[in-house]
């Protein structure tokens, strides 16, 4: 009977030692877990998007046949995958009758999200108003 009790205590001790080593305990052969190996906690919520510049595929200046003539810019911008959507554009007129136009897309913050690789495009007509010939 004593030999069964000793065997049980020896097996229980062995199981405890193996469990401790496997779980990162301080037993012999245990390796400490480095902070770099820990997974970072995401700082965004699922489905969250952010604005990013859109790739521009084509630009064309068009003239509206009115008096005075109106000008608009036809912009074809890219949607690099199925998760990215058109967000809008910003137009600012410079001091020397020049324009700065930024086209924006919404893209997922989570870079690990599964998206189809379909490249799409979307067209926009952006009014530039009336311009003086030879100045702009």
What helix, strand, coil percent values describe the chain, rounded to 5? 20, 40, 45
Full-model pTM: 0.61
Convert the pLDDT of each residue in 75-134 to its tens digit: 999 999 999 999 999 999 887 778 899 999 999 998 888 999 999 999 999 998 877 666
């Amino acid at each position: 009977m004593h030999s069964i009790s000793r065997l049980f205590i020896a097996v229980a001790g062995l199981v405890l030692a193996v469990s401790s080593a496997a779980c990162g305990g301080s037993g012999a052969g245990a390796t400490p877990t480095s902070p770099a190996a820990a997974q970072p906690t995401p700082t965004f919520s699922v489905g969250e998007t952010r604005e990013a510049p859109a790739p521009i595929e084509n630009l064309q200046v068009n003239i509206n046949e009115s008096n005075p003539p109106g000008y608009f810019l036809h912009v074809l911008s890219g949607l690099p995958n199925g998760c990215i959507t058109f967000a809008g554009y910003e137009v600012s007129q410079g001091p020397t009758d020049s324009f700065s136009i930024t086209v924006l897309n919404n893209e997922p913050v989570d870079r690990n999200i599964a998206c189809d690789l379909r490249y799409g495009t979307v067209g926009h007509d952006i009014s530039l108003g009336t311009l003086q010939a030879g100045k702009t």
